[in-house]
Amino acid sequence: MFYSGIILITGMLFGCVTSTAPSGPPMCQTSGINGLEDDDTGINEAGSSVSITCESRGGIDPFPQLSWTRNGDDLDGDLTTDERTLRTSLALRWTLSDEDDGKMWTCTAAHPDLTQPGSCSVGPIRVLYGPDIVLEPVSAVKDVGEDVTFACSATGNPVVLTTNWLFDNSSTPPNTDRFVVNNNDDGNLEVTVHSVTKADYSMELKCRAESSRGVSEIRAMIVPINETVYSGGHSRHFLSGYVLVLMVLFNITKHFT
């Protein structure tokens, strides 16, 4: 005999669990993100720790399936469910970067008993960053007499006001015939050093970008043919072939003894 959701079988009671849809669309809650209210300043700094939580109430057997996207790209979050309160949440925690500027986050809640998934959104948000400089290449191995070209570009929010090349902290090239600065077809600021000399190896050749938020600089290095550059801007000489042979013979001897 059935009693409104309770089944009586051979003197034992069992709860009759039925599938139920969420009570409404999910709710998006934020922490550390500005610019979401009309009276908010809207300023978010790159490097700030933030979080967004999507919560769905009601819905069981199964719990709602929650998912986050940023401008359509899927994101991984921390999922929690509470059978007592019938709440499901999916949290995102990360550090803001330039890639978040102008982006929108959308949480979608799907359930078999929903004809259409519910959703809530956060954004778009404004993130202040930069100036961020991209230098190509960062270093170039060149022999005396060879030519080399470096291309520099910069982005930021607020926008980058100026980008220029510095030659030992001077905006004036030491030799306008050998050092030629121009904008290439991609909009990057190039400098070409013709007929590299030994003095060019120690010169501080830097790309500098400035916005109302601050100044950034990055050094372009011309490296002698017998040196190489490793991460962190450090350099070291290659070992001579003679020393390399001795090292190989030592390792082989050690391996077989």
- The pLDDT, as a whole number, for residue 228 is 53
- At residue 45's C-alpha, the angle toward residues 157 and 103, to 5°, is 65
Would you place residue 27 in the very low, low, confident or very high pLDDT band (cuts 50, 70, 90)?
very high
What digits encode the pLDDT tens for the residues 87-141? 999 999 999 999 999 999 999 999 988 888 999 999 999 999 999 999 999 999 9
Nearest-5° Cα angle at 53, 49 to 54: 155
Give me the amino acid identity at 21.
A
Whether residue 48 has pLDDT greater than 90: yes
H helical segments located in 85-147: none
- Is the predicted pLDDT of residue 16 greater than 70, yes or no? no
Helix (H) or strand (E) holding 254: helix 241-256
Distance (Å, whole) CA 76 – CA 68: 7
Cα–Cα separations (whole angstroms), residue 56 to 15, 19, 110: 23, 15, 10
Residue 100 buriedness (CB in 10 A; 0-12 / 13-18 / 19+): buried
Distances, alpha carbon 238 to alpha carbons 164, 225, 229, 230, 251, in Å = 33, 10, 10, 12, 19
d(CA 140, CA 95): 33
At 156-209, the pLDDT tens digits run 999 999 999 999 999 999 999 999 999 988 889 999 999 999 999 999 999 999
